[in-house]
Amino acid sequence: MLEVELNKHFTDLENRFDARLSAVLAVRRTEVSAETTGFSAKYECRVKAQYQKDLMGLLEEGMLLAVRNFKAKKHGNKRFTLLEISRIGPEHFGLQGLSDTSYYPYQFEIIEQSMSDWDTDDKATMMIQISAIPLNYDLIITGNDHQYTKGFTYPVVGERVFILNKNTIHRMYNRQLLQELGLPWDDSKIVTDPDARKDPRIGVIKMFQEEKEPIPIYVSYERLARYHFGVFSFTGGGKSNLVSNILRRVLYHTKDTKVVIFDISMEYPFLLQDVFADKSMKSKIITEIPVADPEHFRKIIVTPRKFEKVDITPTLQTIWKLGRLGHYVEGTDHPPTYEDVLEDIKRLSEDEAKRAVSLNAIASIKIKVLQWIKEHKVERSQTVTKAFLDYLQTEAVAACDKFKVWKTGGLYGWASTRAELANFLEPEEEKKKDDNSYSAEKLVELLEGDTRLLCLSIVEPSIVKQLAITLTSDMLRHRKRQFQVDPQILFVFDEAQEFIPAYDKARGIDSTCTQRIETLLRQGRKYGLGGCVATQRIAYLNTNALQQLHTYFVGPLPRPYDRSLVSSTFTIDQGILEKTLEFAPGQWLLSSYIATGMENVPIFITADNSEDELEKPTGKSGA
């Protein structure tokens, strides 16, 4: 039985869990490069639990334990060191003593006999050994309330070990976040709903999940987006599903956060179809080629296997009617601006660097241009006028003549053809005619308008990467220039290996792309620009970019190298990380420095299945 007062905070799994801390071991750190060895906590705690036949079915890795520590005396004996179970193993006394060299029939005899013991509560023959790692938090209980203090306090060896109960976990992770979200906090019962529009939760905590009322898990979407997050698991682990689940909730549970998805595998029009069909949520899907009609649209988007036979025509028709589709056009050269002319002049002076007379002519042309800008009070970013081009040609030719620039050379050629540029001043009109085509500039305008969700469903890598480069750089530049942080924009890179490869693996456009996204992640948080990175293989990614992520969702990563890298990059204990190998799609280890209720305490969760939202009639009609 638990001490009465502790009953409120801990559980002994209905009188089944009776355990003691048996040892605290210092983990020796290896000096080998951390990337290949991963990260381990400084101490490992050993717990021995009395055997009880149901216990093995109830204990799980990831459960949180509390043990009185050496500071407990000052707090009425109610200060505890928190631990997380990383390994559980039942032990049988008879089998322990069995040697591999004993007579073989004897070995079989003993093993067979032991089988029936597991079904008894025989504490003399069996025991459960548990390894747990410190969370580096102390829990102080004052009355009904909890306080968490950061830091490691040595737990008292021999002390009783408690399991945190459902309410304590709920309080620990969710209380503050629910208050932040303006949702009611109720100590006596847990109220939660898997419906994405009703409840901002991401899913439920795996601990106690089998019980009637699971514990929901919340994150701060504001901090999740601002400080960037990563989703890592092998293909089929549920990355796109989780990302769409999160994005849907970001859109419905933040005031005005915007989302831009770089959807190189064309999955999101399907995964977020309910959002695209929602009249009240302004959104746009940009494809590579113009879409002819809803049927054509159905053919080009990727559908999860479960939905291959499902008729989603009504939703697609709604999306179509709402005018949610557009296609990408490579920006036609925009008409020249004063800045462009000055750039030309700079380039000319570089080309002609060895010819003094040319440089003289160029200098005087530059003065003339600057004079015009000043006299006419124009911005450098403005499009030039025909009058300016005539002026430019007259002055440039005059300067060339004055300094006797060679008439068949490049500079003279440039000077004498400036008025020709007047032809480029027209095409603006033409572009406006086709409203369904979007250049990079027009996409930036969308983002600066009231569109909340922009999905770039383009499979051609060179195009979608170019867009990633242009959009991230342009938005960062605009924000810097205007000292603007609102509204927040979240840039989502699913299949991130395409966008942020390691530098030594990147050439040409890939190298620019990884560099720009790294810059976005480094600087974005100051300007309200966030990033989400989802990938199945993190080994060949740009580690500088990865280090900017403050929240991570980790699913099964079969390759040990990937796991060590996750462990060392994000300082998650390897023992805890190994648990993810058993996970089914949709189960994740969530750890965050900033967005969850407990800073840097990894927790196992089951995310709500985004596909469930697509089966709801309300989602379909987009009411």
Ligand X SMILES: Nc1ncnc2c1ncn2[C@@H]1O[C@H](COP(=O)(O)OP(=O)(O)O)[C@@H](O)[C@H]1O
User: Given the rule CB under 6 A, which residues bind ligand X?
Assistant: 233, 235-241, 304, 306, 585-586, 607, 609
Decide whether 90 or 585 has the Cβ nearer to ligand X: 585
When CB distances are held under 5 to 8 angstroms depending on the partner's kind, the choice from Mg ion, ligand X, none that residue 619 binds is none
Stretch touching Mg ion by CB under 5 A, among 31-39, 123-131, 237-245, 372-380: 237-245
As measured in angstroms, the least distance from the Cβ of 235 to ligand X is 4
When CB distances are held under 5 to 8 angstroms depending on the partner's kind, the choice from Mg ion, ligand X, none that residue 331 binds is none
As measured in angstroms, the least distance from the Cβ of 236 to Mg ion is 8
Assess contact for 200 and 181: CB atoms under 8 A: yes
Assess contact for 306 and 611: CB atoms under 8 A: yes
As measured in angstroms, the least distance from the Cβ of 249 to Mg ion is 18
Decide whether 81 or 591 has the Cβ nearer to ligand X: 591
When CB distances are held under 5 to 8 angstroms depending on the partner's kind, the choice from ligand X, Mg ion, none that residue 607 binds is ligand X
As measured in angstroms, the least distance from the Cβ of 240 to Mg ion is 3
Residue 286: strand pairing partners: 326, 456
**Distance, C-alpha 458 to centroid of its chain:** 20
When CB distances are held under 5 to 8 angstroms depending on the partner's kind, the choice from ligand X, Mg ion, none that residue 524 binds is none
Decide whether 33 or 235 has the Cβ nearer to ligand X: 235
Assess contact for 38 and 574: CB atoms under 8 A: yes
As measured in angstroms, the least distance from the Cβ of 498 to Mg ion is 12
As measured in angstroms, the least distance from the Cβ of 363 to ligand X is 58
Decide whether 68 or 239 has the Cβ nearer to Mg ion: 239
When CB distances are held under 5 to 8 angstroms depending on the partner's kind, the choice from ligand X, Mg ion, none that residue 304 binds is ligand X
As measured in angstroms, the least distance from the Cβ of 174 to ligand X is 19
Stretch touching Mg ion by CB under 5 A, among 219-227, 232-240, 277-285, 475-483: 232-240
When CB distances are held under 5 to 8 angstroms depending on the partner's kind, the choice from ligand X, Mg ion, none that residue 501 binds is none
Residue 139: strand pairing partners: 80, 148
| Residue among 615, 616, 621, 608 at smallest CA distance from 249 | 608
Decide whether 360 or 609 has the Cβ nearer to ligand X: 609
In terms of DSSP bridges, do strands 283-287 and 587-592 run parallel, antiparallel, or are they unpaired? unpaired
As measured in angstroms, the least distance from the Cβ of 551 to Mg ion is 19
Q: Measuring CA to CA, how many Å separate 408 from each of 391, 411, 413? A: 22, 8, 7
Instruction: List, as one string, the DSSP characters of 227-273.
Output: T-EEEE--TTSSHHHHHHHHHHHHHHHSSS-EEEEE-TTS-HHHHTH
When CB distances are held under 5 to 8 angstroms depending on the partner's kind, the choice from Mg ion, ligand X, none that residue 380 binds is none
Q: Mask 187-226, x = binds Mg ion (CB under 5 A)?
A: ----------------------------------------
When CB distances are held under 5 to 8 angstroms depending on the partner's kind, the choice from ligand X, Mg ion, none that residue 586 binds is ligand X
When CB distances are held under 5 to 8 angstroms depending on the partner's kind, the choice from ligand X, Mg ion, none that residue 609 binds is ligand X
Residues ≥6 apart with Cβ < 8 Å to 163: 10, 11, 12, 13, 17, 63, 64, 65, 66
Decide whether 41 or 496 has the Cβ nearer to ligand X: 496
Q: Is 568 in the site for Mg ion (CB under 5 A)?
A: no
Decide whether 214 or 575 has the Cβ nearer to ligand X: 214
As measured in angstroms, the least distance from the Cβ of 201 to ligand X is 12
Decide whether 133 or 590 has the Cβ nearer to ligand X: 590
Helix axes 356-375, 386-402, angle to 10 degrees: 150
When CB distances are held under 5 to 8 angstroms depending on the partner's kind, the choice from Mg ion, ligand X, none that residue 335 binds is none
Decide whether 194 or 290 has the Cβ nearer to ligand X: 194
Residue in the shown chain whose Cβ atom is closest to ligand X? 586
In terms of DSSP bridges, do strands 283-287 and 325-328 run parallel, antiparallel, or are they unpaired? parallel
When CB distances are held under 5 to 8 angstroms depending on the partner's kind, the choice from ligand X, Mg ion, none that residue 241 binds is ligand X
As measured in angstroms, the least distance from the Cβ of 570 to ligand X is 19
- Greatest Cα pair distance in the chain: 111
**DSSP H helices in 421-498:** 428-433, 440-448, 461-482
Burial class of residue 617 in the structure, from the number of CB atoms within 10 Å of its CB (0-12 exposed, 13-18 middle, 19+ buried): exposed
Helix, strand, coil in percent for the chain, rounding step 5: 40, 20, 35
Decide whether 446 or 541 has the Cβ nearer to Mg ion: 541
When CB distances are held under 5 to 8 angstroms depending on the partner's kind, the choice from Mg ion, ligand X, none that residue 236 binds is ligand X
Decide whether 344 or 611 has the Cβ nearer to Mg ion: 611
Residue 259: strand pairing partners: 453, 490
As measured in angstroms, the least distance from the Cβ of 232 to Mg ion is 12
Burial class of residue 450 in the structure, from the number of CB atoms within 10 Å of its CB (0-12 exposed, 13-18 middle, 19+ buried): exposed
Decide whether 94 or 236 has the Cβ nearer to ligand X: 236
Residue in the shown chain whose Cβ atom is closest to Mg ion? 240
The amino acid at residue 77 is N
When CB distances are held under 5 to 8 angstroms depending on the partner's kind, the choice from Mg ion, ligand X, none that residue 257 binds is none
When CB distances are held under 5 to 8 angstroms depending on the partner's kind, the choice from Mg ion, ligand X, none that residue 233 binds is ligand X
Decide whether 232 or 391 has the Cβ nearer to ligand X: 232
Burial class of residue 307 in the structure, from the number of CB atoms within 10 Å of its CB (0-12 exposed, 13-18 middle, 19+ buried): middle
Q: Measuring CA to CA, how many Å separate 64 from each of 9, 154, 177, 429, 601? A: 12, 16, 20, 65, 10
Give the whole-angstrom CA distance, residue 96 versus residue 81.
31
**Token code pair at residue 417:** 């053809």
- Where on the phi/psi map is residue 76: left (φ > 0), alpha (ψ -120 to 50), or beta? left
**What count of other Cβ atoms lies within 10 Å of the Cβ of residue 56?**
15
Q: Which of residues 240-299 bind Mg ion (CB under 5 A)?
A: 240
Decide whether 235 or 408 has the Cβ nearer to ligand X: 235
As measured in angstroms, the least distance from the Cβ of 267 to ligand X is 7
As measured in angstroms, the least distance from the Cβ of 135 to Mg ion is 31
Helix axes 508-523, 461-482, angle to 10 degrees: 30
Map tokens 């901090």 to a residue.
223
As measured in angstroms, the least distance from the Cβ of 238 to ligand X is 3
Note the residues at the interface with Mg ion (CB under 5 A).
Answer: 239-240
